[in-house]
Amino acid sequence: MSIESRIASNQPKSFKFSKENEAKIKRVIAKYPKGRQASAVMPLLDLAQRQHDNWIPMKAIELIASKLEMAEIRVLEVATFYTMFNLKPVGQFFLQACTTTPCWLRGSDEMMRAIKDRYNISSGEISACGRFSLLEVECLGACVNAPILQVNDDFYEDLDYQTTIELLESLESGAPLPVGSVLGRSGSEATEGATTLASIKSKKAAARAAKKRSSANAK
Ligand code: FES
């Protein structure tokens, strides 16, 4: 993907951080030693994106560069390296679909097919309704519950064709499915349920406590 295609052609003439974000920026920069303020570049890009409808205009890149005393190209390099930063408008639901090996082995092709069938979009495109953007990304760091679809800040896990469609329908209707594994597994437990000694023990303890409670209530 060329750099030109990643940056919005229609740019605002100015960008200013809100008062609230200026206060946050002060706190973020204060976390780093003097002369190392460039380390705050990612939190500042994140603040700019959240403030500006989920994408970062070039005026914000310039402003961040001047605040952190960095060359503008250095800030742009960071913003273009990480797929979580958008340099052009995206839909209300920004879908980042992981297709790296563990997700691919666990069916990310089917997850992608469901998104394409529903909105007729490929990576880097926005649906005709303007509400959904799709981006194919590398490992999201949650391989254990692959395949993963990130929707804005949330991870949906263990998806297949049908559950991806159900998830998209739930987003469209304004009543999103619960975040996490669509199979309902807790954390990274095995797909067939808890198998470790600790989790089995805690399940047995919970069952004993429930039994005690019900016999106490019966008296
Ligand atoms: S490979 Fe998809 S989350 Fe790691």
Output the CA 206–ligand 1 centroid distance in Å.
Answer: 33
| pLDDT at residue 202, rounded to an integer | 63
Ligand 1 atom closest to Cα of 139? 4
- Measure 174 CA to ligand 1 centroid, in angstroms: 27
Residue 214, pLDDT score: 67
Of all atoms in ligand 1, which is nearest to the CA of residue 100?
Answer: 1
User: What is the rounded distance in angstroms from the CA atom of residue 111 to the CA atom of residue 104?
Assistant: 10
pLDDT at 196: 72
Atom in ligand 1 nearest the alpha carbon of residue 98: 2
pLDDT confidence of residue 189 = 82
List all residues 6 or more positions away from 11 whose beta carbon is below 8 Å from its beta carbon. 57, 58, 59
* 25-54 burial code (b ≥16 CB/10 A, e <16): beebbeeeeeeebbebbebbbebbbebbeb
CA distances from 18 to 50, 58, 90, 103 (A): 11, 17, 21, 39
Segments in 82-159 forming alpha helices (H): 101-105, 108-119
- Would the CB of 143 count as within 6 Å of ligand 1? yes
- How far apart are the CA of 188 and the centre of ligand 1, in A? 13
Overall pTM surpassing 0.75 (yes/no): yes
Kind of pairing between the strands at 93-98 and 132-137: parallel
Q: How many angstroms is it from 90 CA to the middle of ligand 1?
A: 22
* Kind and range of the H or E run holding 164: helix 161-173
User: Cα(187) to centroid of ligand 1, in Å?
Assistant: 15
Domains belonging to the chain, first-starting first, are 3-81 (1.10.10), 93-181 (3.40.30.10)
State phi, psi for 101 to the nearest 5 degrees.
Answer: -40, -55
CA 4 to each of CA 87, 113, 121, 209: distance values in angstroms, whole numbers, following the listed order: 10, 27, 20, 62
List average pLDDT for each run of 10 residues in the chain, which is 219 residues long. 81 97 97 94 98 96 97 97 93 96 97 97 94 96 96 96 97 96 86 72 67 66
Nearest to 87 by CA among 49, 138, 44: 49
CA of 101 to the centre of ligand 1 (A): 7
56 CB near ligand 1 (under 6 Å):
no
Query: Whose structure tokens read 């960095």?
Result: 70
Contact 135, 123 (CB under 8 A): yes
79 CB near ligand 1 (under 6 Å): no
Which uninterrupted H or E stretch holds 216? helix 197-218
Where does residue 151 fall: left (phi above 0), alpha (psi -120 to 50 degrees), or beta otherwise?
Answer: beta
Ligand 1 pocket member 148 (CB < 6 A):
yes
Dist. CA 136 → ligand 1 center (Å): 11
**What pLDDT is attached to residue 11?**
95
Cross-strand pairs, 154 = 151
Pocket flag, ligand 1, residue 137 (CB < 6 Å) = no
145-181 burial code (b ≥16 CB/10 A, e <16): bbbbbbbeeebbbbbbbebbbebbeebeeeeebeebb
